[in-house]
Structure 1
């Protein structure tokens, strides 16, 4: 079982206080990793940290000063071996109805923050000749998503970032991959569904497996990519979508 353990590894999960992020924290902790939960919801982060004997860091990924303060705290604690850029924010609206003033926060949280975190933690991984960079994007960034143009555009930027870093860091034993969840039962999805009662049934009909995924299903895949057995997988963009995307 030694090839399945993350004992001795330290991981950082952004947006780890709920949803997919919380499931990822539980998965990594279950594999033996020491997990830092970074979230704007500090009370939620502390709750999750308590469940897994991890650490909680308060951060607003849309605010540069907050990001830098969180980076300092985590780096002072020894950096990380595994970085899961999971946090995201979306506004559901048609592109022509979107306000450019609102684009900036989505870009900062969904793309700029992962870029900055990668830049901060990658040197330590390269020095240690082992690391895992995992970016949680969305199947909507691969196939398009009605009503989520800005979110999809920002999350699509993670593809280029992850693949470029994969090439630059491969010789140091660092892998870099993107996971694209499809329709997953999370608090964010439920919030959108409450505004449109017909949304869920229409979306489920478009899924070959005819059901939403679970946060645990996404987390299990992330756990594999974070572990020793995925050491030969890098530069990949892979979907967990019930078959919506098959290429």
Structure 2
């Protein structure tokens, strides 16, 4: 097993809570230095303080100019070996009730920001001859999801982008994959459930394992894809969903 990440630097977006916090913990345990990026600096700092070699970084992924400035001015962001693009935002509503402003917000955070980070970080990975990129999408990007048309569309963009990036970087020792969580017990899901009190029971009945997943179960898949053991896995989309979809 080649699970040692000593000497590697990982950037985890949305690292202040949920799946991102779990991933930060696991990569740190394997020896990586972890940059915990979140728009909530307090949350990022709490995670960074709880792990060895953790550093908190505040960033609003909706702010393209701010991302560019941070990449230019922060030397820590120029030496990334592992990118876990986990941050995301959803809004649950019928597509015909959505508006263009919300489209722009979801597109900026869920798709443009990951592409912008890759545009800046991949050249350094290429020079080193090693890199790991993992995008966190959603199972609704593969199978659709009622009320999540715009969210699903932006996350589905990651699937196509990751496959192209995987083809372009494979010979440079870089792998690029997507993990699609199903119904995971996170703050984002709970916030949706508040407005839909009967929804959770209906959804859980449709999951073969009859329960929600945990952030740790998703983080386990991401952790593996970040290691040398996953060197022959690239361009793949892996669902962690309790069997609710099988494809």
Matching residue of 1:172: 172
Summarize the alignment of residues 57-76 of structure 1 with structure 2, pairs less than 5 Å apart: 57-76=57-76
Cross-structure match for 2:145: 145
The aligned residue for residue 100 of structure 1 is 100
**Bigger mean CA offset, 70-79 vs 96-105:** 70-79
Give per-residue Cα distances to partners, 1:141-175, cap 9 Å, x unaligned: 10001011100000000011100000000000000
Alignment partner, residue 17 of structure 2: 18
Corresponding position of 1:120 = 120
CA distance in 2, matches of 1:154, 1:78: 26
Describe the SS at the equivalent of 1:56: strand
Shift in Å, 1:67 = 1.2
Rounded Cα–Cα distance in structure 2 between residues aligned with 1:244 and 1:176: 24
Correspondence list, 1:158-197, <5 A: 158-197=158-197
Are 2:73 and 1:35 equivalent residues in the alignment?
Answer: no
Secondary structure of the corresponding residue to residue 4 of structure 1: coil
Q: SS where residue 179 of structure 1 aligns?
A: strand
Shift of 1:124: 0.6
Give, in whole Å, the separation in 2 of the partners of 1:179 and 1:90.
17
CA contact (8 A) 1:42 1:56 kept: yes
Q: Deviations over 1:34-64 (max 9, x none)?
A: 1001110011101111011311111000011
Two-structure CA RMSD over aligned residues (Å): 1.1
- Structure 1 stretches of 5 or more lacking a match? none
Output the CA distance in 1 between the equivalents of 2:150 and 2:215.
Answer: 23
Cα pair distance change 1:233/1:42, threshold 3 Å: same
How many positions carry a matched residue from both structures?
Answer: 246
Q: Look up the SS of the partner of 1:32 in the other structure.
A: coil
TM-score by length of 1: 0.97
Farther-moved stretch of structure 1 (23-32 vs 152-161) = 23-32
The alignment partner of 2:37 has SS state of strand
In the TM superposition, residue 69 of structure 1 has moved relative to its aligned partner by 2.7
Residues 78 and 121, structure 2, Cα contact 8 Å, conserved in 1: no
231-240 or 96-105, which deviates more: 96-105
Tell me how far apart the structure 1 counterparts of residues 76 and 65 of structure 2 sit (CA, whole Å): 17
The alpha-carbon deviation at position 244 of structure 1 amounts to 1.4
Within 1, Cα distance between the matches of 2:120 and 2:25? 24
* Structure 2 segments unaligned to the other structure (5+ residues): none
Pair 1:198–1:27, CA change in 2 (3 A): same
Name segments (4+ residues, structure 1) moved above 3 Å.
Answer: 73-78
